[in-house]
Amino acid sequence: MRILIFLLLLPLSAYAGMMSFSVSPSIVKFETVQGGIKAFDLSFFNQGENAIHVDVKLMDLRLDAKGVPIISELSKNKRQWARFVSLNKTKFIVEARKYEKIHVTLNTPRGRAGGGYFAIVFNTTAPKSSKKSKHKQNLMTIGGQLPALFIGEVSRTGKRKAQIVKSAINKAPYTKDKPLKMRFVLKNTGTTHVNVNGDVLLRYNNKVIGRLMLESGSGLILPQGERYFVASWDKFAKYSNKTIKAEARFSYQGGRANKKITFKIP
């Protein structure tokens, strides 16, 4: 089973029918040591007018090439630490306008270096009524779902390394509504996560004619993951029939990656 979570907000909120709730913090970044114990507290807030039932589940976490979290069932992947996590409660009912605290304990595995990742998913439904009614037997149960994402690292053991694996330019013709776009894909070949940012330097006849920012949200890439970066250029018309040299320059803690491409504006 896979669940795609499309928004990362802090606090992260969800609405399903009359159901409204939040989990805080929604993203936990931390450092730990091999064999150490790390403790966290999450706060679940029922913002609605009715009680809700919560079922908590530990799951694996990775990011797709657009930075969208993909949450999946527990595995034995060495970068996934969910199986080393315990919760003080996994099922509870939260009354309207009330908070519930969840205590999370990570027993960091020994012999591991670099980063480790997991997610805690909160599945919610309306509590079952003790009163049975023939008219309610066929009603649909409305529920919601929210994750808390954990991004960790064994201190001073991770290797940060990223490389550009793809580059492309969208096809002409270009217009104001469809500007020239340069796309690059970076792969994290290290052992821990990296936050990457970058730009593109444009040159014509060896003179710099522009600098474009490469956009990709937080730029976070987990180990062995990939991420798209895009730069848009809306001043292309001035260089029609000219050959342009572009250099993409990416930087992250402990390293850099560069890629040069040449193209002609139609």
pLDDT digits (tens, 9 = 90+) for 97-147: 999 999 999 999 999 999 999 999 999 999 876 555 444 444 445 678 999
Give which of 147, 190, 184 is closest to 260, Cα–Cα.
Answer: 184
Could you give the CA distance from residue 72 to residue 65 in angstroms, rounded to a whole number? 16
% pLDDT > 90, the chain: 85
138 and 40 fall within a common domain: yes
**Given a cut of 80, is residue 236 above it in pLDDT?**
yes
**Given a cut of 50, is residue 156 above it in pLDDT?**
yes
Strand partners, 143: 125
187 and 61 fall within a common domain: no
The domain boundary residue, chosen from 131, 154, 177: 154
When divided into structural domains, the chain yields a total of 2
pLDDT score of 128: 74
The answer to whether the Cα torsion of 103, 109, 115, 119 is positive or negative is: negative
Q: What is the CATH number of the domain that holds 219?
A: 2.60.40.10
pLDDT score of 41: 98
Report whether 68 contacts 4 (CB < 8 A). Answer: yes
| pLDDT band at residue 38 using 50, 70 and 90 as cut-offs | very high
Strand partners, 47: none
pLDDT score of 8: 38
For the chain, the farthest-separated pair of C-alpha atoms sits apart, in whole angstroms, at 80
| pLDDT band at residue 9 using 50, 70 and 90 as cut-offs | very low
Please give the residue range of the domain that contains residue 249: 162-264
Could you give the CA distance from residue 140 to residue 75 in angstroms, rounded to a whole number? 32
The domain boundary residue, chosen from 154, 182, 199: 154
213 and 146 fall within a common domain: no
132 and 180 fall within a common domain: no
The domain boundary residue, chosen from 125, 154, 183: 154
Q: Where are the strands (E) in 84-179, listed by range?
A: 85-87, 91-94, 99-107, 115-125, 143-154, 162-169
pLDDT score of 127: 83
Strand partners, 37: 107
Residue whose tokens read 């340069």: 182
pLDDT score of 142: 66
